[in-house]
Amino acid sequence: MGPIIIITGTPGVGKTTVSKLLAIHLKAKHVDLSELAVREQLLLGWDEERKTSVADIERLRTRLYEIASASEQSLILDSHYASSIVPYGEASSVFVLRKDPSRLKEELESRGYDMKKVRENVAAEILDVCLSEAVETYGEDKISEVDVTDMKPEGVAELLLKIIHSCKPTGLSHIDWLSKPEAEKLLEDLPW
């Protein structure tokens, strides 16, 4: 089994695009956990309120380890809930991609997300939900928090490659969207 590299962050930050680019550069296997759960029916059901499938974490974890055990390649895992699947000792690197909440809102709207889903994900970004979950599972020593707001996916992938090759995670960038007045206004303006 090769190293497991985790790319996490709020939906809309570019995890899948960056993960695919990174997998090409590293000759690694890309696994989108949400896509795997749906494709192989590793689901508990459907969340009508959120209009999304609910992954069966235990079955997904088992399947992921089958995939990892059958491969000598590194795995690039792409998921906002990877910290629920891969324990501390199994992750070699953890990247938390962050995006300015106003730009994230635009991205999610352009994808056709309904306003409830936009609001939920923008609030998650402002409140550091994916970062907090990653820190809780992996500690700060494996994490590199990266603000991708003004970066192209190729530039993000190159930065992640440099961090991987240096074997020195950058740690927390201390991005604090909540302290910015425009973030508070954005939360107030989103329909609740």
Give the pLDDT confidence score for residue 192 in this predicted structure.
65
CA dihedral 65, 66, 70, 71 (to 10 degrees): -40
Domain count, the chain: 1
Asked if residue 111 is part of any domain, the answer here is no
* CA–CA dist 79, 114 (Å, integer): 20
Asked if residue 62 is part of any domain, the answer here is yes
Q: 10-residue block means of pLDDT along the chain (192 residues)?
A: 93 98 97 96 91 93 94 94 94 97 96 92 96 96 96 98 96 92 82 68
Asked if residue 159 is part of any domain, the answer here is yes
Asked if residue 40 is part of any domain, the answer here is yes
Asked if residue 124 is part of any domain, the answer here is no
- Characterize the bridge pairing of strands 143-147 and 75-78: unpaired
Give the pLDDT confidence score for residue 168 in this predicted structure.
95
Q: 4 has which bridge partners?
A: 75, 91
Task: Give the domain range for residue 11.
Answer: 4-100+129-175
Asked if residue 120 is part of any domain, the answer here is no
Asked if residue 110 is part of any domain, the answer here is no
Instruction: Specify the pTM.
Output: 0.95
Asked if residue 81 is part of any domain, the answer here is yes
CATH number assigned to the domain comprising residue 40: 3.40.50.300
Give the pLDDT confidence score for residue 190 in this predicted structure.
77
Cβ-contact 175, 149 below 8 angstroms:
no
Give the pLDDT confidence score for residue 112 in this predicted structure.
94
